[in-house]
Amino acid sequence: MNPPLPQHYFGNATEGVVVCLKAKELLEQGHGYVAWEINKIIAMHTDEKFIDMLESWTRNPKVSSLGSHVSNALILSGSLWVDLYGNDFGWGRPIVFELVLLTN
């Protein structure tokens, strides 16, 4: 990031985004179209927008839940830049990383 996060920042620095498509679009355009739409959203996230989001969250923190999403949502996550098994915050490297989803 430019500028980099403060040296003593400890926590997540991520943001969720939404790409909305109709089933018809997905069926007609295919997976490449979905990937392109996701790419366009990611490209819009500049360092300045990311810093603004962090500052806004600091002023008004919110924790979102999956319950706020529509029932027919497909939720994707991932990062090419996060070495989940290589991170060591002083407690040793992770042995297992799992994403847990709990819904009611």
Measured torsion, CA atoms of residues 47, 50, 3, 35, in degrees rounded to the nearest 10:
-40
Please name the residues in contact with 76: beta carbons below 8 A apart, sequence gap of 6 or more: 38
Alpha carbon distance 84, 5 (integer Å): 19
Active-site annotation holds for 88: yes
CB 36 within 8 A of CB 19: no
Considering the candidates 47, 52, 83, 88, report the single residue annotated as catalytic: 88
Catalytic site residues?
88
